[in-house]
Amino acid sequence: MPTLRTAYGGPPASGDAAPAPDPAAAERALALLSGRPLVVLTGAGLSTDSGIPDYRGPMAPARMPMTYQEFVSGPDARRRYWARSHVGWGRMRHAEPNPGHRALARLDPHLLITQNVDGLHERAGTRSMVALHGRIADVVCLDCRATSSRAALQQRMAVANPSYAERHGAATVRPDGDVELDDTDGFVVPACEDCGGVLKPDVVFFGENVPAPRVARCYDAVDALAGSGGALLVAGSSLTVMSGLRFVKRAARAGVPVVVVNRGATRGDPLATERVEAGCSEFLARLAP
């Protein structure tokens, strides 16, 4: 699976050491955010309580993503991608929203921007949101651009590769729904049912750009905070790459307060008005009881 949080920047790195928790910082952050219009930016750290591992937490090992360029380079790369995805997605699809997702749905921010592709914000009931990197539940044909359901493709792969997922059931799950798996020879990858073309998950791979209309909508929401006395809340993102960090920079330049809640240091810490070393679920449950 792609490392979606590296849509801009270098390969993923293991998480930095976590700062020492400061209980007073959490209290200041809660007071700062209370009653304000909010834009919320979420990352993989928000979904760890749903059993989905992250890429850059304090204990996360370094992993190399498959790039878009590698994916389109030929059938061997695509076979490796889809074989791993077939095994892992069967588990990821059963993940449930955790208390952090549900708290954000209750909070109902002006806009929720997520870097995650797991669809858990939608399932928790968040109404106004941008899935910056798309959703892993959707598939697109690179030839005719037809979109289809990942669930339907999963069934087609199961028919074409009987018992494959069961044989590799012990493989380690990776953050974006795939698994650690080297032996993918012989895996049969279905083609587009409309034109016979190449199928790709409808998400932003490393090496691709986030669609401009999504970015523009997010910038507009952040810009509106400056005139409304609002704040930007970052929950569970290392902000390692520009895909998410640009919104923090935009807010900071406009004088908008920025609160960063994460386990482990983030690239946005120098720009934060308040930095809270804490799990997302515990903090958000207090923000939106």
**Residues of the binding site:** 141, 144, 192, 195
Binding-site residue ranges for Zn(2+): 141, 144, 192, 195
- The rounded distance, in Å, linking the Cα atoms of 116 and 176 is 8
Q: Is 269 helix (H, G, I), strand (E, B) or coil?
A: helix
With 0-12 / 13-18 / 19 or more C-beta atoms within 10 angstroms meaning exposed / middle / buried, residue 255 is exposed
From residue 157, alpha-carbon distances to 92, 186, 260 in Å are: 16, 12, 40
From 86, 101, 133, 168, the catalytic residue: 133
Q: How many residues does the chain have?
A: 289
Is 133 among the catalytic positions? yes
With 0-12 / 13-18 / 19 or more C-beta atoms within 10 angstroms meaning exposed / middle / buried, residue 74 is exposed
**27 CB contacts (<8 Å, ≥6 apart)?**
none
Residue 253 tokens, joined:
């330049």
| Three-state SS sequence of 19-58 | CCCCHHHHHHHHHHHCCCCEEEEECHHHCHHHCCCCCCCC
- Mark out the alpha helices in 56-190 (DSSP H runs): 68-71, 75-92, 99-107, 120-124, 150-160, 164-167
Nearest to 233 by CA among 218, 219, 248, 245: 248
- Tell me how far apart the 2 most distant CA atoms of the chain are, in Å: 59
Nearest to 249 by CA among 277, 268, 276: 268
Query: Could you list the active site residues?
Result: 133
